[in-house]
Amino acid sequence: MGLILSIAMAVTLTTSLVLVLRWRNVRCEGPMPVSFFTFIAILFTSGLDVGLIMFPLVDFELYAREQDYAFANPLAIEFGFWGFLVWGFYFLTTFYFCIVEPKLKLFEIPAIKLTNNVVIIGTCAFTALLFLVYLPDYVEGISDPVRYGLVAAVILSATVSSTDIKFVKILSVSSTWLFFALIAGAWLASGMGVSGLVDSMSGVGAYFSNIHRFLLPLNEYHQFYLYWWFAWSIMIGQFVARFVGGLEAWKLFVALLVVPSIPIATWFSVLYYYFNGALEIGAWWRLAMVVVGVIFVINSLDSLIRLYTQNLGVTTERFGKGYYILGNWLALSVLVLLYLFTPLKIEWIGLVVVGIYTAIYVLAFQRRQLLMQTG
């Protein structure tokens, strides 16, 4: 699996670079264009999940003690797993669904369409699983019935909100502002001040001086992250492409790599200050992290549920709101349990996505004349 992933990384990142250089001025616009801020908010909250909130403190400890990560500080490693370069996946797929898919309609081919939607459903459930697994680290003493009940309620809320597109914009913008508020609150509570924040953020620089190390999987844990990004990449591009507001390709590329990386780097730097100084995060701030994490999960699930139900024609108009909500809630709840109690892993989903990429590359090459004639 490591070799397949390495080849996939090389091909997709090279493709992104070629697109930026060769078709840098191509205008990308979706059928539902929104303002730049709203687009970034939708991208940021749909393209990330609760792991952004809950992983860093656990990951920092791992990176500090494992020799594989000795080339940089834990903050730089965590940023490398979440920021900048990996957002190139989203640029590639957003560009594809803005420019190529409307012409070639490869995702309308039954086998690709079915496989893609199975991936979306599977990744959707994995997002809920992460929330279930990491809750005890942030809510001390939480019982299993409460934990499972909360996750079931989150899935239900996301299913209900997916019935109306207006909730996507509302959730995306509001959760973005709440995330900013969480960063500000945790920063103020730490007492680090501006100088402390700047000093902590300087650690991110070690990522850029070692960026070549993140092109290929460092080890199995990095491999897990990269397959996770692959699993998300096609469906996020498919979803957010409809909201692009007429950006040239190079601007879209810069926006996707740089703009989301700024709040990610800031949030990680605040948490790293706590970690580096062995500071305790208060119970209220842990609760705030859980609340924002809940909203992130609902927002991500909302987007993905809306995507696969529209792709498959499973709509409220066709089945009624009650059956729509019940069916999606049951399907996702069962999949969460399958992840929990069977060998099913996100790496398998990521591997399937690599297969979809391969099929799209081959078919796009075969139909390149049609693409050029229509473009």
Q: What is the residue-level pLDDT of the chain in tens, covering all 375 positions?
A: 778 999 999 999 999 999 999 999 999 999 989 889 888 888 887 777 777 888 898 899 999 999 999 999 999 999 999 989 999 999 999 999 999 999 999 999 999 999 999 999 888 888 888 888 888 877 778 898 999 999 999 999 999 988 877 777 777 788 888 899 999 999 999 999 999 999 999 999 999 999 999 999 999 999 999 999 999 999 889 988 999 989 999 999 999 999 999 999 999 999 999 999 889 888 888 888 888 888 888 888 888 898 899 888 888 888 898 999 999 999 999 999 988 888 888 889 999 999 999 999 999 999 888 777 644
Q: What's the rounded Cα separation, in Å, for the pair 143 and 337? A: 17
The angle that helices 36-47 and 166-190 make with each other, rounded to 10 degrees, is 80
Domain boundaries of the chain, sorted by first residue = 2-97+111-374
Question: Could you give phi then psi for residue 215, rounded to 5 degrees?
Answer: -70, -35
Residue 30 phi, psi dihedral angles, 5° rounding: -95, 175
Q: Are 100 and 370 in contact (CB under 8 A)?
A: no
Q: Please give the Cα distance from 294 to 288 (Å, whole number).
A: 10
Amino acid at 181: A
CB neighbourhood size of 54 (10 A): 23
pLDDT at 173: 82
> How much is the pLDDT for 375?
45
Number of helices followed by number of strands (H, E) in the chain: 20, 2
Asked if residue 78 lies in contact with residue 56, where contact means CB atoms within 8 angstroms, the answer is yes
Are the C-beta atoms of 129 and 349 separated by less than 8 Å? no
Spatial separation of the C-alpha atoms in residues 134 and 367, rounded to whole Å: 45
How high is the pLDDT of residue 374?
47
- CB neighbour list of residue 63: distance below 8 Å, 6 or more residues apart: 69, 73, 74, 77, 78
2-97+111-374 CATH: 1.20.1740
What global pTM score does this model have? Answer: 0.88
DSSP state of 281: P
Residue 211: its H or E element: none
Angle in degrees, CA 202, 276, 137, rounded to 5: 120
Buried b / exposed e over 253-267, threshold 16 CB at 10 Å, is: bebbbebbbebbbbb
Token couple for 310: 């529209």
**To 5 degrees, how large is the angle CA 109–CA 363–CA 244?**
75
